[in-house]
Amino acid sequence: MWGGFACFWEFGVITSGAPFFFMLWGIPFVLMGLYVTVGRFFVDARQRANTYYGLTNERVIILSGLFNRNIKSLNLGTLAQIDITQHNDGRGTITFGPSHPMVAWSSASWPSGNRYAPPSFEMIEDAKEVYRQIMQAQKK
């Protein structure tokens, strides 16, 4: 609705010959509408393409970030909770640690919207095998 109304507003302003200020006023709203409707999917794809996961005998490593590199290194010996969500095709998500209560209120589709989410290996191939390797490394 946001994007549709913003485009309707901007189109109406341009075709009616309204003052230039009104044309400028609508541009940020149109841009936000474009981000909400289609842009967030491109940003998410780019973020996932720049995310790398690693597993050693002592640590879980997550390297991510679009503009700044973020490195999360978690000690396997101190992880109390490791959960797996697996789909029929074998892909899945492995989550390290409990979820924060604010996860339900945040949206990963907004920049920094997943700040409350626990670290995780998201949508990885053969998640069950990776989970088994993590559990095996954690026991050692």
Q: Same domain, yes or no, for 97 and 124? A: yes
Q: How far apart are CA 104 and CA 92, in angstroms?
A: 20
pLDDT in tens, 55-78: 999 999 999 988 888 999 999 989
Q: How far apart are CA 96 and CA 118, in angstroms?
A: 6
Find the domain containing 6 and state its range.
2-47
Q: Same domain, yes or no, for 91 and 23? A: no
This prediction has a pTM of 0.73
pLDDT in tens, 80-103: 899 999 999 999 999 998 876 665
pLDDT in tens, 11-30: 999 999 888 888 899 899 99
Q: Same domain, yes or no, for 43 and 13? A: yes
pLDDT in tens, 114-129: 666 889 999 999 999 9
Q: Same domain, yes or no, for 66 and 37? A: no
Q: Same domain, yes or no, for 23 and 70? A: no
In this prediction, residue 104 carries a pLDDT of 55
Total tally of structural domains belonging to the chain: 2
Q: Same domain, yes or no, for 95 and 125? A: yes
